[in-house]
Chains A and B, each alone.
Chain A
Amino acid sequence: MKTLLDSTRMNITLQRLAHQLVEDHPSFTDTVIIGIQPRGIYLSDRIAAMVKKISGNKQIDYGHLDITFYRDDVHTSNIQVPKHTNINFSIEGRNVILVDDVLYTGRTIRSAMDALIDFGRPKKVELLTLIDRRFSRELPVQPDYVGFAVDTILTQKVKVYWQEKDDKDEVVLIDKDK
């Protein structure tokens, strides 16, 4: 097991991502942030709070999206009980920033885009991810904002721990066969 980001570095990285978002979307009036359930929401909660502080706009539309019903592996993996979707605003014609903790095969993001489009037609969809596992994509999905890029092999796993859920902030790389 190897630590990729400790809590100090993780915080610096999150601050940078939030600043990048505000740099690209100065007023944040036409931009919304949507975190992907279950583990993307810890990242998006933090990012949304930081963006509110940095931009000075307290009215940013922010929600959670569950993608369970849009997965492409309903019949090949175990059935999952969904978490809550909470999007109480219109995404029609607006910029959407999708947020997830780890980008790996790209399949979750594919499902998330399908789910999103059932809520309306966004003007533009961007992707923010804390960890980008490069060279492991199964679909042509690329992130717009990356916290930390890492080259991994199939037998490795990247795990992000969050204070709110796991009592610590840390990103680790785990070798499964060891």
Chain B
Amino acid sequence: MTESEVAQQSAEQPTPGIVPAANRTVSSGRRAILSVTDLKKYFPVKSSGLIRRTVGYVQAVDGVSFEVAEGSALGLVGESGCGKSTTGRLITRLYDPTSGSMMFEGKDLAKLSAKAMTPMRKEIQMIFQDPYSSLNPRHTVGTIVGTPLRVHKVVPEKQVLTRVRELLEVVGLNPEHYNRYPNEFSGGQRQRIGIARALALQPKLLVADEPVSALDVSIQAQVVNLLRDVQNEFNIAFLFIAHDLAVVRHFCPEIAVMYLGKIVEIGERESVYNHAHHPYTQALLSASPDVKQAAIGGRRERIRLEGDVPSPINPPSGCRFRTRCWLAQDICAKQEPPLLQIGKTHKVACHFAAELGNHPAKPITAPLLGTDDQGNHAPGSSPVEFSTNPGYDETWFDLKTKTFGNR
């Protein structure tokens, strides 16, 4: 389905809350460049032996929806194994998605063949986590940065070297070092080479898969600032995958928190960091060190999560976080919490969504799901239609008044 078709379809059915895709805006008021809807990736688990039957699926990414605005940055955070890297690799089509759609410039990346994907590769590039394995050790820097230029024939062969030197200068490296091999550079410099390579095609979207996790803290800041500079200079949208909350806060105006293949909370930086409504986000935030508190010597109240992340092969029923959540009640096992928009630019998937310490005793989602407080189907009530919009709607569910509105 193309973008215009989507727009047409929504125009025909004027459901409140669903705005035609073309007019849809993200928090910053900019146009959405990438809009991912209900993206899923299941990896088959094969039995051993001669006849390899599929005995199950690793539900690495299970129904993720989000939007990235043009020239903006969406931070994807979560602990290891929660599917954030898989999401990044799905968008660059290193993996083929199981289902869902990824609309980019009117094309659904999820349905393009490998051949049809080739011209799109110019628009979407990736920065990798490990600068020591993301550069071919047998190629010179000039070859590494020049490869995308040659493959897509962006510039004539004669000008490749000139362009490579320009790119090296952009990322703050000596342009005369194009003849050197990656092992002659430090980790931070290698990551800069990786960034230069990603910039070579002048992409509109950059998937940065933990771009600074492998670097020293002092170098991290330099690289993050470099990313910010190139973002401003070339108006590149970022999908910034990281587990470091401080780095994400510094870089991304929008944050999505993932847990076990699902987005549990997504929203604008300030609302997620200062008014986190999901217990998992609250636990994550409480675990990250706070300079101010350290300075005054106060003890932080930390939320200790017990146990391990459940296996994505056989995730818990209902809410996936319930096995480690201190708020969990019966409804959490029976009903999966919908990703409910609770503010202008804030969505959360929890039956007891509220700021830390104010969690309600009764599930706020029960009336919406048409159930009683234990999650059993309540006679006489029917569930509300939830918006499937990957962006934000004009109206949202107000937690105080328990009604939809747009105050």
Co-assembled chains A and B = no
B interface vs A, CB < 8 Å? Answer: none
Interface residues of A (CB under 8 A from B): none
